[in-house]
A and B are shown apart, each in its own frame.
Chain A
């Protein structure tokens, strides 16, 4: 956000969550919310990442373990399906990969600069018991 002068900062250092009235945000999906510029939803922490999680839809069983444990509200689930990763807000901690129960995992960490399509093409095979 642009650094404004004293005359333009909010009185009392108040920050708004939304730019318009929202009856109950618990009932409104993020994509339908009028986020204010001052909501961190509009900001990015992508530059914190060294590694990034890549998500493989073909293997995912939509268990939502990654969703519940993500510390950065970065697993996007809609209608009980995992549909993607919010790379603006993901810090690359890797918790989602650790808690993923599938074999092989549906989420794996790759270098931040790696291409996602290429990462998917290198996905490991199912591990056998004892491997």
Chain B
């Protein structure tokens, strides 16, 4: 059972299970998200992680940063790895051969956007369709950060990446990002949500809900990337604040693939321009010839917000 977390003071009494001296970049949001997940429950955890920044930074022989059992197999199959472990749990529970039969456990898989939106999508989709009791958390930094900043299908329009670089005749990535939350909602998963680590309370609530919900749950967690988004490591939270207040990363949840709830409405909605302006990856968009991309961005964000609000009202 998840513990009740009323405020930060109380939350801070959690005994960390994600250890320091991992090798993630200074200011990385990945570890903020992982810490919140591991601190929001006292249940035992069985974790898996796709290849990516989190994986290569937390289990480099001879050190592990995990105080719970953890497995990494490949780039694409963390969902299936944890699904296999969950199946083993069910089998051993039925047969009465579990080593700690009464201990509560939750199964959680992590992946970056590259392994979630792209190379591991099939494995994720399969595991969710089969209904395993697990939570999948996508640490969405909109780029293959681990391998040096190549575009993924989560990379948003106008972003300059090492495989969609801005140049003399290009403004960078040409497409808006894939709607992974909508796609996972369309699987009919019992609980799907988008979170951002700066809104810790909203995030903890959703993480706990996903752990407590029986069946496959999906969380898309915005993970501002100091290295590839190109901002100062100290600004991870302030960049994240602008991301949610400009509605670039709206916070919402979808229950049973139907009911959509917006969980955060900014008091003052910031223009997308403010979000783009604080990251090096969008610097070139402020040249006169690229103004149309910023306009397109704003239109897309407005349209998305309109859609979410209508979905919320419609209750279908």
Contact with A along B1-38 (1 / 0, CB 8 A): 00000001111111111111111101111111001101
Q: Is the CB of B15 within 8 A of A27?
A: yes
Q: Is the CB of A69 within 8 A of B13?
A: no
Say whether B314 faces chain A, with CB atoms less than 8 Å apart.
no
CA A98 to CA B285, docked complex, whole Å = 27
Residues of B within 8 A of A114 (CB): none
Partner of B237, one of A27, A90, A92, A99: A99
- Residue from B8, B61, B233 within 8 A of A13 (CB atoms): B61
Q: Chain A interface residue count: which class?
A: 35 or more
The docked-state distance in angstroms from the alpha carbon of A24 to that of B38 is 12
The reply to whether A89 and B236 contact each other, CB–CB distance below 8 Å, is no
Q: Is the CB of A80 within 8 A of B10?
A: yes
Contact (Cβ within 8 A) B63 A95? no
Quick check: is A41 within 8 A (CB to CB) of the other chain?
Answer: yes
A5 at interface, CB cutoff 8 A: no
What are the residues of chain B within 8 A of A26 when measuring CB–CB?
Answer: 14-15, 17, 38, 41-44
A94 CA to B61 CA in the complex, in Å? 28
Once the chains are docked, how many angstroms separate the CA of A19 from the CA of B19?
Answer: 15
Pairwise interchain contact B20-A45, C-beta atoms closer than 8 A: yes
For the complex, give the distance between the alpha carbons of A13 and B233 in Å.
33
Note all chain B residues with C-beta closer than 8 A to A24: 42, 44, 103
Which A residues between 56 and 97 are near B, CB-CB below 8 angstroms?
A: 62-65, 67-74, 77-80, 82, 86, 88-95, 97
Q: Which of B64-72, B78-86, B292-300 contacts A (4 or more CB under 8 A)?
A: B64-72
Q: List B contacts of A82 (CB < 8 A).
A: 12
Beta-carbon contact of A64 and B61 below 8 Å: no
CB <8 Å contact, A17 and B20: no
Looking at A40, A62, A99, the one whose CB has the most chain B CB atoms below 10 A away is A40
Roughly how many angstroms separate A95 CA and B17 CA in the complex, as a whole number? 20
Give the distance to chain B from A8, nearest Cβ to Cβ, in Å: 11
Q: Which A residues touch B29, using CB under 8 A?
A: 71
Residues of chain B with a CB closer than 8 A to A15's CB: 59, 61-64
Q: In this assembly, does B197 line the interface, its C-beta being within 8 Å of a C-beta of chain A? A: yes
The answer to whether A111 has its CB under 8 Å from any CB of chain B is no
Contacts known (A64-B9, A80-B9); A92 close to B15, Cβ less than 8 A:
no
Given A39-B19, A41-B19 in contact, is the A64-B11 Cβ separation under 8 Å? yes
Which of B10, B38, B64 has the most A CB atoms < 10 Å from its CB? Answer: B64
Most buried by B among A25, A27, A89, A92: A25
**Which residues on A sit within 8 Å (CB–CB) of B304?**
none
Report whether B12 and A97 are in contact in the complex, using a CB–CB cutoff of 8 Å: no
Tell me the complex Cα distance, A2–B44, Å: 31
Q: How far is the CA of A58 from the CA of B214 in the complex (A)?
A: 46
Q: Is B238 part of the contact surface with A, judged by Cβ < 8 Å?
A: yes
The contact string, 1 if C-beta is below 8 Å from chain A, for chain B 158-176, is 0000000000000000000
Contact of A39 with B13 in the complex, beta carbons under 8 Å = no
B200 contacts chain A at the CB level, 8 A cutoff: yes
Question: What's the nearest-Cβ distance from chain B to residue A26, in Å?
Answer: 4
CA distance A82 to B11 in the complex (A): 12
B92 at the interface (CB under 8 A from A): no
Task: Kindly identify which residue among B42, B58, B233 contacts A93, using a CB–CB cutoff of 8 Å.
Answer: B233
A98 near B21 with CB under 8 A, answer: no
For the complex with contacts A24-B44, A29-B15, A71-B35, 8 further pairs of A-B residues with Cβ separation under 8 Å are A1-B63, A15-B59, A37-B62, A64-B12, A69-B32, A70-B32, A71-B24, A73-B35
What are the 4 A-B residue pairs with the smallest beta carbon separation, nearest first?
A: A89-B20, A94-B234, A93-B26, A93-B27
Interface pairs (30), CB distance under 8 Å: A13-B61, A15-B63, A16-B64, A17-B64, A17-B68, A18-B67, A25-B17, A25-B67, A27-B42, A38-B62, A39-B63, A39-B65, A40-B19, A40-B65, A41-B19, A42-B21, A42-B63, A62-B9, A63-B8, A68-B200, A69-B198, A69-B237, A71-B31, A71-B35, A72-B20, A73-B18, A79-B13, A80-B10, A89-B20, A95-B233
